[in-house]
Amino acid sequence: MLITANDRLFVLTGAGISAESGLATFRGSGGLWNGYRVEEVATPEAWQHDPLLVWRFYSMRRRDALAAQPNAAHLALASYEQQLGDRFYLCTQNVDDLHERAGSVRVHHMHGTLFQSRCTRCDRVFPDQSFYESAAALPACSSCGAPVRPHIVWFGEIPLDMDAIDRQLNRATVLLVVGTSGSVYPAAGFVHIARQRGACTIYIGPEEPLNNGAFDQILLGAATEALPALLLHA
Ligand code: OAD
């Protein structure tokens, strides 16, 4: 038994958990960046250079996420959270809302969320499901009139609420990582921190991640199969 009902579980998810819901991963074949180079759409420089391209990209991702449904892996995590309560913490690199729609409550989106936008001047964050796909439609802040950007953490920016993440990593007895290539830091380093602090570290995905050496267990398989199987016996 890798996880017991007495454990304090920190779950880190990546694009792979939403792959079977039809949302493209970043680095696989058919990955999201195939049509767009990452530096064209997910950096502050890209935003300065071409905000319309950036908004078209995130509008496309909003459309895709709205059409997707949570899968068995999202549902298994939500159901396990009900058993563990406050001993469960879910940190996702994903900006889709499939964890919430599956019923997860204790979710932290370290790379931001697709369905919020933020004022570039007054930093007001607000819910937003709109699509902005022409220069005339680009949004402005209703409080101060400045341009509004996606509430997404871009390359070169600091992930949201790293203090809370660190506190939770400190307390976890098990770190369960699902569907992330282990190539983007700081998330790729969580396994090293958890391991140093004595937690058991488990990875689930169809292929080994880049940081594979730091895991105690690697369960090769699709998230919708391997994750429910693991949590069913926990
Ligand atoms: P990647 O695209 O780098 O990796 C996706 C991982 O999912 C790969 O390791 C696949 O093997 C795995 N995978 C594919 N299908 C799967 C399935 N059915 N079940 C489980 N795993 C599966 O995506 P991330 O690691 O999430 O950041 O990328 C990390 C960050 O890089 C993203 O949050 C994003 C991106 O740039 C920002 O936008 C800031």
Q: Each residue of 148-180: pLDDT tens digit?
A: 999 999 999 999 999 999 999 999 999 999 999
Query: How is residue 147 annotated by DSSP?
Result: B
How far, in Å, from the CA of 168 to the mean position of ligand 1?
Answer: 22
Confidence of residue 24 (pLDDT cuts 50, 70, 90): confident
How far, in Å, from the CA of 25 to the mean position of ligand 1?
Answer: 5
Token representation of residue 209:
């991640």
Where do we find the tokens 């180079």?
37
How far, in Å, from the CA of 225 to the mean position of ligand 1?
Answer: 17
Chain segment 212-233, per-residue pLDDT in tens: 999 999 999 999 999 999 998 7
What's the CA gap between 32 and 26, in Å, rounded?
5
Token representation of residue 165:
């993440």
Q: Which ligand 1 atom sits closest to the C-alpha of 154? A: 39
Confidence of residue 2 (pLDDT cuts 50, 70, 90): confident
Q: Which ligand 1 atom sits closest to the C-alpha of 179? A: 21
Residue 34: pLDDT above 80? no
Chain segment 48-86, per-residue pLDDT in tens: 999 999 999 999 999 999 999 999 999 999 999 999 999
Specify the residue with its C-alpha closest to ligand 1, atom 35.
26
What's the CA gap between 77 and 114, in Å, rounded?
21
What's the CA gap between 76 and 204, in Å, rounded?
13
What's the CA gap between 231 and 4, in Å, rounded?
9
Is 183 touching ligand 1 by the criterion CB < 6 Å? yes
Specify the residue with its C-alpha closest to ligand 1, atom 29.
184
Specify the residue with its C-alpha closest to ligand 1, atom 32.
93
Q: Which residues have CB under 8 Å from 85's CB, separation 6+?
A: none
Is 181 touching ligand 1 by the criterion CB < 6 Å? yes
Neighbours of 202 (CB within 10 A): 22
pTM for the predicted model, two decimal places = 0.96
Token representation of residue 4:
């017991």
Taking alpha carbons only, the member of 142, 135, 94 closest to residue 114 is 94
